[in-house]
């Protein structure tokens, strides 16, 4: 076989919430694309991150964390989205957190056991283990659960072992023409990425105070000369949440705007004028029609 054969395929990054899937994608791509926070279920949609190096194009699919909380329409959407991503991919990266194993990890493992796709288990956050030998029983147990899988310890945050992980992915991709132009890094629109950056700043600042009932809608996205004008509407479910988000004399919303604008200027390579406002829309996270209007399709 010719070593230079063109390879291309889809790679699903799956796992329970908060194991570092989005951080892993960002480090592989070498830039911030997927939003991250310490709060579980930060990722709500699938996001493609496209990396082309020479003859290999890997199309990574960042997915919402699979979780047991299924009561609300939004939670059902997130689980359905993550499960659907497993169907048509060429390789699966199952991200787990060191020796921490939960019922939600079991749930993901059960789904993977029935698949024939090549699986790579990425044991993340190993940099936080003082005694690396603690990991050995866990690696042995994982090998017993998924005998055909390749298992690799990594640190997504520090980039440890990611080149080795990418090499394992490349070996498992089918021979194929590339699906996307070499310079393209995602399938998502700039509007989508702008909305996600605002939501990230809200979750990072208010993760403990504000529950998940926050959505961001971009109402204007317009380049005028060297300035990109972005108007973002933040939806919450109750008046109390609106007060928390705005803060004393508007200080909280101002800080969220400043941090989001900084990331947007880097991402869009342009000066950004960002306007944020907050609106109460009661019950949106459990209203399937409202969710569809906010871009949560196929519920």
182 belongs to a structural domain? no
CA distance 225 to 7: 40
6 vs 214, residue with greater confidence: 6
> How many other β-carbons are positioned within 10 Å of the β-carbon of residue 30?
10
**What is the chain's mean pLDDT, rounded?**
85
> Is 264 annotated as a binding-site member?
no
Residues 200 and 137 grouped into a single domain: no
153 belongs to a structural domain? yes
pLDDT digits (tens, 9 = 90+) for 35-46: 665 554 444 557
Q: What is the CATH number of the domain that holds 53?
A: 3.40.50.300
Q: What does the DSSP assignment read for 123-172?
A: EE-GGG-SSGGGHHHHHHHHHHHSTT-EEEE-BTTTTBTHHHHHHHHHHH
Q: At which of 141, 171, 201 does a domain end?
A: 171
Tokens linked to 26: 């960002």
119 belongs to a structural domain? yes
> Is 40 annotated as a binding-site member?
no
Residues 80 and 126 grouped into a single domain: yes
> Is 125 annotated as a binding-site member?
yes
Residue 209's SS3 state is: coil
> Is 78 annotated as a binding-site member?
no
Q: What is the CATH number of the domain that holds 289?
A: 3.30.300.20
CA proximity to 25, closest of 41, 16, 36: 36
> Is 118 annotated as a binding-site member?
no
Residues 150 and 209 grouped into a single domain: no
Task: Give residue 224's domain range.
Answer: 190-294
129 belongs to a structural domain? yes
pTM of the model: 0.76
Tokens linked to 222: 């317009």
246 belongs to a structural domain? yes
Residues 25 and 155 grouped into a single domain: yes
Please report the pLDDT score of residue 1 as a whole number. Answer: 41
Q: Which residue in this structure is represented by tokens 């298992």? A: 151
Residues 16 and 78 grouped into a single domain: yes
DSSP bridge partners of 218 = 232
Measured at the CA of 254, the angle between CA 253 and CA 256, to 5 degrees, comes to: 65
> Is 20 annotated as a binding-site member?
yes
> Is 239 annotated as a binding-site member?
no
CA distance 63 to 284: 22
> Is 43 annotated as a binding-site member?
no
Residues 24 and 145 grouped into a single domain: yes
pLDDT digits (tens, 9 = 90+) for 222-247: 999 999 999 999 988 888 889 999 99
203 belongs to a structural domain? yes
Please report the pLDDT score of residue 282 as a whole number. Answer: 79
Measured at the CA of 43, the angle between CA 40 and CA 45, to 5 degrees, comes to: 145
> Is 15 annotated as a binding-site member?
yes
CA distance 74 to 102: 22
220 belongs to a structural domain? yes
User: Element (H or E) spanning 264, and its range?
Assistant: helix 251-268
177 belongs to a structural domain? no
Domains of the chain: total: 2
pLDDT digits (tens, 9 = 90+) for 111-125: 899 889 999 999 999
> Is 211 annotated as a binding-site member?
no
Residues 136 and 48 grouped into a single domain: yes
Phi, psi angles (nearest 5°) of residue 16? -70, 170
> Is 87 annotated as a binding-site member?
no
Residues 197 and 139 grouped into a single domain: no
In 15-90, which ranges are E strands?
47-53, 56-62
Q: Which residues contact 276 (CB under 8 A, 6 or more apart)?
A: 198, 232, 234, 253, 256, 257, 260
């Amino acid at each position: 076989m010719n070593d230079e054969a063109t390879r291309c395929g889809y790679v699903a990054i799956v796992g329970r919430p908060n194991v570092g899937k989005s951080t892993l994608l960002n480090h592989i791509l070498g830039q911030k694309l997927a939003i991250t926070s310490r709060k579980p279920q930060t990722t709500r949609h699938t996001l493609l991150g496209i990396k082309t190096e020479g003859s290999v194009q890997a199309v990574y699919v960042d997915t919402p964390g699979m979780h047991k909380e299924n009561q609300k329409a939004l939670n059902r959407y997130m689980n359905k989205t993550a499960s659907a991503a497993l169907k048509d991919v060429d390789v699966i990266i199952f991200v787990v957190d060191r020796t921490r194993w939960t019922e939600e990890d079991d749930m993901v493992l059960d789904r993977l056991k029935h698949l024939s796709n090549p699986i790579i288990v990425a044991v993340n956050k190993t940099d936080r283990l003082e005694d690396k030998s603690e990991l050995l029983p866990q690696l042995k147990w994982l090998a017993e659960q998924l005998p055909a899988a390749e298992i690799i310890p990594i640190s997504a945050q520090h980039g440890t072992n990611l080149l080795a992980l990418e090499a394992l992915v490349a070996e498992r991709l089918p021979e194929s023409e590339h699906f996307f132009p070499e310079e393209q890094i995602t399938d998502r629109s700039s509007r989508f990425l702008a909305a996600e950056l605002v939501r990230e700043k809200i979750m990072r600042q208010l993760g403990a105070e504000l529950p998940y009932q926050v959505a961001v809608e971009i109402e204007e996205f317009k380049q005028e000369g060297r300035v990109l004008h972005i108007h973002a509407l933040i939806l919450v479910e109750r008046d109390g949440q609106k007060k928390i988000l705005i803060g004393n004399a508007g200080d909280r919303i101002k800080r969220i705007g400043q941090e989001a604008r900084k990331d947007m200027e880097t991402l869009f390579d342009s000066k950004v004028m960002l306007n944020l406002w907050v609106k109460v829309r009661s019950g949106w996270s459990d209203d399937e029609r409202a969710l569809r209007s906010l871009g949560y399709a196929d519920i």
